[in-house]
Chains A and B, each alone.
Chain A
């Protein structure tokens, strides 16, 4: 991990309040893998104070570019959305452990389950899995049709289902409903999204080989502040812990308390 000033080479609004940002860098890009995140400084000064954790959606090592997708809504992310092509942003990263592509063998089938702003890190993961000869199935859940993004991009990589909670696009229901109703079979689950969705996945498929990417409010992003600590499952002492920023954000199903 390093701190680098990266240049904005593209900034696009791709869904309701959702932006795709392409950053040009030097060294940082070469270190990044699927499922890791960046800690982005959205202003020059101290207001807002903290960096914003944003997951990496795709990595282009040839061009030295990273694409991130984030939802603007709070003050800090709105400031990021107002940045223009050519502006520089200070980026700390790449952070976190990333999704383990090696957990799935060539010829096997992986289901990638994304929820809302948890969808982006699955895109680079999907590309890496496909490159390894793994069949990918995407199940992407959103609140409504206005929130949907990257459907075509995922479709290019493999079978893709979109579900919306209000039924305005794709399947009406949850990602779990889609998997059950379509009878989707798989060898590995990879997922990122809101905690209730991750819990539902763990409850539905407790014995499956699977990896869940968690989200939490963070201070430092590098393991020093202990803000994003979570409990370990089946720990009788109650004091065993994992840091989401450095031990995660990706954990195996059954590893930590959701």
Chain B
């Protein structure tokens, strides 16, 4: 496995594969299928200060090679995540990336400060790009000044490195990336879902109760590859790439675009074993490509 190990700020990973936040709960469901220590890291579901129920149902709609969701950051709240979910995860020797969200700056600061002190949380993923909540979320992730300011404040209180999760729903993602790097971000996570909608032909209404939702799955992979390719050549902080990854080939493509680790999201819903399968298949693919260590692939497609 030494061909796959990866050192990123805060994250010493036995392989660069982690399940993406929001697609893996807090790990309990998938622990019924395999040992979570197989994973490089786990990005847990977003935590907010308060307990959140989320949006009305239907919350998911299918699209061609993708899925729309508008879960609305449902989570048990910071106190419960700290006392129950993270404590339960302590039985596994795997670094946790804590995704944090909020409706106002103070919320983000409180969650970041407290969750970063949990002993198995090795990094924070600053979620400024969730498109499915009315307040907060994406409103922080579309204005470089606002994103930059929030990144600075979260960095000040966090005991662990901070990865800023960027939204693709912006005109210039490079501008956003540069702004949060200058504000002190230790890394980037990109991309979050693309805003989308589907309409029920018979009811003549959007399928999702929320109207629109975030598009994920293989349908968005080319967008993610393009954005990571652009951003990674401009910033000097590492990128955790995500967006439609479902195979070892996809992982290599993300690395060639400039990612240093990847998160697998929607594919977990289709195949609960997708992460361990990718991890098992990567060495064979590296052989095929004549690559000794996966780090050799990072940015391999740059000019």
Contact = CB atoms under 8 A, between A and B. Distances in A.
* Chain A partners chain B: yes
A105 B266 CA distance: 43
B71 A3 contact: no
Given A226-B74, A239-B53, A241-B53, A217 B66 contact: no
Nearest to B52: A239
A218 B67 contact: no
B74 A49 contact: no
Size bracket, chain B contacts: 35 or more
Nearest to A228: B57
B211 interface: no
Contacts of B54: 226, 229
A238 B218 contact: no
Nearest to B61: A217
Interface in A223-242: 223-231, 238-239, 241
B62 A227 contact: no
A3 B272 CA distance: 8
B30 interface: yes
B141 interface: no
Interface stretch (B21-29, B95-103, B146-154, B175-183): B21-29
B60 A219 contact: yes
Nearest to B67: A49
A227 B57 contact: yes
Interface stretch (A40-48, A59-67, A170-178): A40-48
Contacts of A229: 53-54, 57, 59, 74
A49 B63 CA distance: 7
A227 B72 CA distance: 10
A230 B25 contact: no
A47 B25 contact: no
Interface string B44-87: 01000001111001111111111101010010000000000000
B129 interface: no
Contact of A48 (B51, B60, B64, B269): B64
Given A41-B270, A239-B51, A239-B52, A49 B65 contact: yes
A224 B23 contact: yes
B62 A46 contact: no
B204 interface: no
B58 A225 contact: no
Contacts of B219: 49
A224 B264 CA distance: 14
B92 interface: no
A3 B34 CA distance: 12
Interface in B203-223: 217-219
Contact of B59 (A3, A217, A222): A217
A46 B65 contact: yes
B76 to A, nearest CB: 9
Contacts of B62: 48-50, 76
B280 to A, nearest CB: 15
A231 B22 CA distance: 20
B79 to A, nearest CB: 13
A252 interface: no
Interface string B263-298: 000101111110000000000000000000000000
Nearest to A223: B29
Nearest to B32: A1
A219 B34 CA distance: 20
A33 to B, nearest CB: 17
Nearest to B273: A3
Contact of A224 (B25, B57, B271): B25
Nearest to A231: B53
Nearest to A230: B57
A50 B269 contact: yes
A45 B218 CA distance: 10
A136 interface: no
10 contacts: A48-B64, A49-B67, A92-B272, A222-B30, A224-B29, A224-B269, A225-B25, A227-B58, A227-B71, A239-B53
Interface of A: 1, 3, 41, 45-51, 76, 90, 92, 216-231, 238-239, 241, 246
Complex A-B, nearest 3 residue pairs according to Cβ-Cβ distance, in ascending order: A224-B25, A220-B269, A227-B60
Given A46-B217, A218-B60, A225-B71, 14 more contacts: A47-B64, A48-B62, A49-B62, A50-B62, A50-B269, A217-B60, A219-B266, A220-B272, A221-B269, A224-B269, A226-B71, A227-B58, A227-B59, A229-B59
